[in-house]
Amino acid sequence: MKFQKDETLFTGRLKSMVFALKGAFKLVTTEHSIMVQSIIAILTTIAGFYFGITRIEWMIQILVFGLVLSIEGLNTAVEKVADFIHPEYHKRIGFIKDIAAGAVFFAALTAIVIGCIIYFPYLF
C-alpha cells in the first residue's frame, strides 16, 4: 500500500490533529506514568479552584502540566523506539533511556517547585 501525503492546508492539518489526539489518547490510556501525572494535574486543578489561585498562577500551573506531560510523552517515545531497535538490554540503549528519564525528572522537579511556590502561601 502506497502512502499518499495530503498536502492540502485544511485536510492535511485535520489529519495531523487526528493523529495527535490518537497519540494523546494512547499515552493517557496505556502509560502509567502519564496516568499518575494526569491525576496529579486533575488534583491540583481542583486545588486551584478551591484556593482561588490567580490568573497568572493558573497560566503557570497549566504550562507546567503541559511541560511535564509533553516531556513524559517524548520519554515514552524514546523508550519505545529504543526497545524496538534493541529489545535486549544494551549499555548504550540504557544510557539513552536514562537521559530521557532524566529530562522527565527535571520537568517534574520544576513542577514540584512551582507547585510549592503557588500553594504554600495558601496553605500556611
Catalogue the active-site residues: 72
Would you put residue 39 in left (φ > 0), alpha (ψ -120 to 50) or beta? alpha
Q: Whose CA is closest to 72, among 42, 96, 107?
A: 107
> How distant, in Å, are the alpha carbons of 7, 21, 68, 80 from that of 108?
38, 23, 6, 21
Q: How many whole angstroms separate alpha carbon 114 and alpha carbon 64?
A: 8
Q: Answer whether 103's CB lies under 8 Å from 75's CB.
A: yes
